[in-house]
Amino acid sequence: MRRLPPLTAIEAFVAVARLGSVKLAAQELALSAPALSRRVQTLERFLGRPLFDRRHQAMVPNSDGDRLLAQIAPVLDQLSDAVESMTSAVDVVRLRLGVLPLFASQRLFPRLAELRATHPELHLDIDTAGHGVARLGEGLDAVIALARDIDPALYAQRLDRNMVYVIGSRTLVERPDPITRPEQLATLTALVHRDMPDTFAAWREAAGLADIEPMAVDHFDSGALMLEAAAQGLGIAFMHESHFQDAADPRLVKLFDIEVVSPYSYWFVCRPRALQLKPVRIFRDWLIDTLGSNAV
């Protein structure tokens, strides 16, 4: 039998590579930072090469580390799932899902009880860290992504089509000089999500206002915070119709009756071979049946 490095060293390597920090990985594995570092060094000595570029505040896998992570991380996850299923009172299957927080809170979580009732064996590990598509196979089994399109090498199922709404505080239409005309955009701050940078440009072109500029453009990486900023009168948010409808926030109103198709959609994405995994198939089928009705 081939000699293998200690499993604890492999576990430590994967944790550091995924989190980019010895401190965070040590917390996750309930170890001291020096103890975790020693385990990583054990693996490096076993392989006879370094696996990380060590920086002041971060540990970044080098080319050898990236290659090793891609090969062993899925195997370690499968091993963990197998052990958990053997020690659990029920036959648990687990899905590591990447999802944006706003989609999770507005559209996914309100329906998860239905999924649990139908498939009590399926449990979700939720990851909202972003850039999920790039991490498929390295800690994530599947992702609900917001994008224009998806790499054709991946399996992707569109979940919706949407309109771009201009969302603002109700006070904007109730004040003495209400905001009723698109030209008044020049007096306002536009709020744009970093994952949807073209929503403002698409809306402006459809409105025939290609030359008009807002007072400023503020960028957010949180849809929930964008909606709150709009409700507080800090700017007008260029977001999806579904974001507005699902928020059901009486402080918010849709501004301007201009129909603009969004260039972005929500997608279910995974690697093609991941469809062989039971939790991926269960969740994919349920998600499309439950939330994918607006994808025509």
Amino acid at position 282, single letter: I
Tell me 104's DSSP state: I
Instruction: Say if residue 244 is in the same domain as residue 271.
Output: no
- What residues make up the domain containing 245? 164-255
Q: Checking DSSP bridges between strand 189-193 and strand 265-270, what pairing results, if any?
A: unpaired
For the chain, give percent helix, strand, coil, nearest 5: 45, 20, 30
Span 117-124, mean pLDDT?
92
Burial class (CB in 10 A: 0-12, 13-18, 19+), 78: exposed
**How long, in residues, is the chain?**
296
Domain count, the chain: 3
Which residue's structure tokens are 């915070």?
A: 225
pLDDT band of residue 296 (cuts 50, 70, 90) is very low
Higher pLDDT, 276 or 84: 276
Instruction: Say if residue 152 is in the same domain as residue 201.
Output: no
Cβ atoms of 27 and 86 closer than 8 Å = no
- Between CA 296 and CA 231 the distance in angstroms is 31
What CATH number has the domain bearing residue 118?
3.40.190.10
Question: How many angstroms separate the first and last alpha carbons of the chain?
Answer: 54
Instruction: Say if residue 135 is in the same domain as residue 209.
Output: no
Span 213-235, mean pLDDT?
95
| pLDDT score for 223 | 93
| pLDDT score for 130 | 77
Span 101-125, mean pLDDT?
93
Cβ atoms of 183 and 212 closer than 8 Å = yes
| pLDDT score for 84 | 61
pLDDT band of residue 294 (cuts 50, 70, 90) is low
Any domain includes 2: no
| pLDDT score for 89 | 52
pLDDT band of residue 138 (cuts 50, 70, 90) is confident
Q: Is the pLDDT of residue 87 over 70?
A: no
Instruction: Say if residue 155 is in the same domain as residue 232.
Output: no
Instruction: Say if residue 155 is in the same domain as residue 271.
Output: yes
Backbone angles phi, psi at 86, to 5 degrees: -75, -25
| pLDDT score for 295 | 52
Amino acid at position 218, single letter: D
